[in-house]
Structure 1
Amino acid sequence: MSSMNDKFTVHFWGVRGSIACPGPETVRYGGNTPCVEMRVGRERLIFDGGTGLRVLGQNLLSQMPVEASLFFTHTHWDHIQGFPFFIPAFIRGNKFHIYGAVAPNGATIEQRLNDQMLHPNFPVPLQIMGAQLDFNDIEVGETLKIGEVRVETAHLNHPGEAVGYRVNWQDYAAAYITDTEHYGDRLDPNILKLAQDADVVIYDATYTDDEYHHPKTGKKGWGHSTWQEAVKMAKAAKVKRLVIFHHDPLHNDEFLDRMGEDVKAAFSNSLLAREGMSVEIAPSPRAIMPAHAKV
């Protein structure tokens, strides 16, 4: 039997984009904004701190003390608003290594997380957090070493900039690519590099092609892609499994059910991300736990 140190698993704690949207129409896929946890060998990696990070924090309370690396793609609200509610960060004895690129205006990841917790926006400052917080400014394009894990980085096409990540461990790889917009008929070489031959690619497919190209309400320039472009990318990069992510808050469960059928018809080894879902990459690449599974 394999131990946890032999595994590479991906856990989805928040899968929505733009704004949290809890309610009766989003029960099956979830309403929390982006937060994806990867448990890779001995390492725990967390990607983005949307409202799903609060849910992950509740889960971690039974596993104290915790050490993890937290990677931010960028700091638009939907990717950071869970951070002030991440309870393990307030508990002494825990340790979090926090990574993010310097913003175009020069603000570091520490400055931006600090600023959202200042009065009058939030009642307590970041400095109240009792855990050890180790902030790291990354140079996009560099490869980071986290124990036995290598994390590659690349620029994404998003207003205000964003970073994509590829996690490599042993012979396995998973890519986290959100928020990004495709370039017309040309595939983004940065995305292709992150996704090439990956076991799992989590990709921003906020819109459908019809929504993106709509003559009156089109989304070109908004910084997000479509599921059709996700399929093109997955085929070109020879991705083993494609996970559609960053669901539009206007897409209810029924809409996403239909989208999932369309995606699967176009790329058979694909699925739509659901809050609470787990995907096991190693040692069993085909294992998927249902959305209601306990993780």
Structure 2
Amino acid sequence: MSSTQNLFTIQFWGVRGSIACPGPETVRYGGNTPCIEMQVDGKRLIFDGGTGLRVLGQSMLSQMPVEAHLFFTHSHWDHIQGVPFFIPAFIKGNCFHIYGAPAPNGATIEKRLTDQMLHPNFPVPIRIMQADLKFNDLELGEKVEIGEITVENALLNHPGEAVGYRVNWRGYSAAYITDTEHFPDTLDKNVLQLAHNADVMIYDATYTDEEYHSKASSKVGWGHSTWQEAVKVAKAANVKKLVIFHHDPLHNDDFLDHVGEQACEQFPNTLMAREGQIIHLGGSAAGHLVAPEEVKLTV
């Protein structure tokens, strides 16, 4: 049996929203845009292809050939801009199963990834990639079975639409809910469905409530949520661990430290997503988290 079988781990390769923001003030949390890798029972699942996907790709070069399943929430730039720089996709012998729900205009995930690499946007077309790219159009609510793993999806509240995902395996579950805006008077039933009793919920908490409702620069209608709403969902859905994700590029390390302190006061089992973190759910390593500094914490 492979050493990765009988395990469920989540690793964060990109945790920022909107635009990559490298620099001295974002070192601790990271500046790459969304990309999360889940290794479940020997299978590799990747969620979103922001600039973090480039870094993940570099780490995969020592593991060739590779096979992975890539699930896209939507195709706004910050979630796909790492695809043209994902080196394993250019290497023959690798295989990537790519999933995404059609956009409101009917464009498939294949068309959208293809279009971003057309002139004048990019120097080489997607067909230069030598890996076997298998595109799959998802229906809303469709379940994808990968061995013993089930991946569910549900529609989120985001301009141009986005979907959230839930990964289930042998009683463990992880919900990936990013790029969604909460409703003013009620919790989103689709979000609650994805998060229900989840071991881990990764949630779009781009703003604070103060920023979201700011009279000077309101973020209502921008398609993102707040850490305060994340706490409400975590409590209502009986989530075991809440991960604050999709950090605003204007929020530096110190600001995110403060958000984390406030969130933990309201929901003690809260984690601020950082590049490099690994959460272990299933198998012999279950029950702890490995931070970038290799410090093990209790989940």
- Provide the residue aligned with 1:78 in structure 2: 78
TM-score by length of 1: 0.98
Query: Whole-Å Cα distance in 2 between the matches of residues 154 and 285 of structure 1?
Result: 27
- Provide the residue aligned with 2:96 in structure 1: 96
Query: Whole-Å Cα distance in 1 between the matches of residues 52 and 270 of structure 2?
Result: 22
Moved more, 55-64 or 209-218: 209-218
- Provide the residue aligned with 1:226 in structure 2: 226
Q: Spell out, residue by residue over 1:18-46, the C-alpha distance to the aligned partner (whole angstroms, 9 max, x if none).
A: 00000000000000000000000021100
Q: Secondary structure at the match of 1:69?
A: strand
Query: Whole-Å Cα distance in 1 between the matches of residues 215 and 119 of structure 2?
Result: 42
- Provide the residue aligned with 1:257 in structure 2: 257
Query: Whole-Å Cα distance in 1 between the matches of residues 203 and 28 of structure 2?
Result: 19
8 Å contact 1:177–1:202 — kept in the other structure?
yes
Query: Whole-Å Cα distance in 2 between the matches of residues 144 and 290 of structure 1?
Result: 30
Identity across aligned pairs (percent)? 71
Q: Spell out, residue by residue over 1:23-72, the C-alpha distance to the aligned partner (whole angstroms, 9 max, x if none).
A: 00000000000000000002110000000000000000011100000000
Query: Whole-Å Cα distance in 1 between the matches of residues 74 and 218 of structure 2?
Result: 24
Q: Secondary structure at the match of 1:18?
A: coil
Q: Report the Cα offset of residue 285 of structure 1.
A: 4.1
Q: Secondary structure at the match of 1:155?
A: strand
Query: Whole-Å Cα distance in 1 between the matches of residues 141 and 73 of structure 2?
Result: 13
- Matched to 2:84, the amino acid is P
Moved more, 206-215 or 276-285: 276-285
8 Å contact 2:2–2:42 — kept in the other structure?
no
Q: Report the Cα offset of residue 293 of structure 1.
A: 4.1
Query: Whole-Å Cα distance in 2 between the matches of residues 285 and 269 of structure 1?
Result: 16
- Provide the residue aligned with 2:290 in structure 1: 289
Query: Whole-Å Cα distance in 2 between the matches of residues 293 and 80 of structure 1?
Result: 29
8 Å contact 1:11–1:278 — kept in the other structure?
yes
Q: Report the Cα offset of residue 3 of structure 1.
A: 3.4
- Matched to 1:99, the amino acid is Y
8 Å contact 2:142–2:153 — kept in the other structure?
yes
Query: Whole-Å Cα distance in 2 between the matches of residues 182 and 2 of structure 1?
Result: 41
Which runs of 5 or more residues in structure 2 are unaligned? none
Query: Whole-Å Cα distance in 2 between the matches of residues 155 and 281 of structure 1?
Result: 26
Query: Whole-Å Cα distance in 2 between the matches of residues 23 and 165 of structure 1?
Result: 31
1:121-140, aligned counterparts within 5 Å?
121-140=121-140
- Provide the residue aligned with 1:65 in structure 2: 65
- Provide the residue aligned with 1:8 in structure 2: 8
- Provide the residue aligned with 1:35 in structure 2: 35
Query: Whole-Å Cα distance in 1 between the matches of residues 2 and 230 of structure 2?
Result: 33
Which runs of 5 or more residues in structure 1 are unaligned? none
1:36-185, aligned counterparts within 5 Å?
36-185=36-185
Q: Spell out, residue by residue over 1:131-188, the C-alpha distance to the aligned partner (whole angstroms, 9 max, x if none).
A: 0000000001111111110001100000000000000000100000011000013000
The number of residue pairs the alignment matches comes to: 294
- Matched to 2:115, the amino acid is D
TM-score by length of 2: 0.96
Query: Whole-Å Cα distance in 1 between the matches of residues 131 and 108 of structure 2?
Result: 20
Moved more, 71-80 or 279-288: 279-288
Q: Report the Cα offset of residue 2 of structure 1.
A: 9.5
8 Å contact 2:157–2:181 — kept in the other structure?
yes
8 Å contact 1:199–1:285 — kept in the other structure?
no
- Matched to 1:33, the amino acid is T
1:205-284, aligned counterparts within 5 Å?
205-283=205-283, 284=285
Superposed CA RMSD? 1.3
Q: Report the Cα offset of residue 218 of structure 1.
A: 1.2
8 Å contact 1:276–1:293 — kept in the other structure?
no
Q: Secondary structure at the match of 2:53?
A: helix
Q: Secondary structure at the match of 1:127?
A: helix
Query: Whole-Å Cα distance in 2 between the matches of residues 48 and 292 of structure 1?
Result: 24
Query: Whole-Å Cα distance in 2 between the matches of residues 89 and 292 of structure 1?
Result: 30
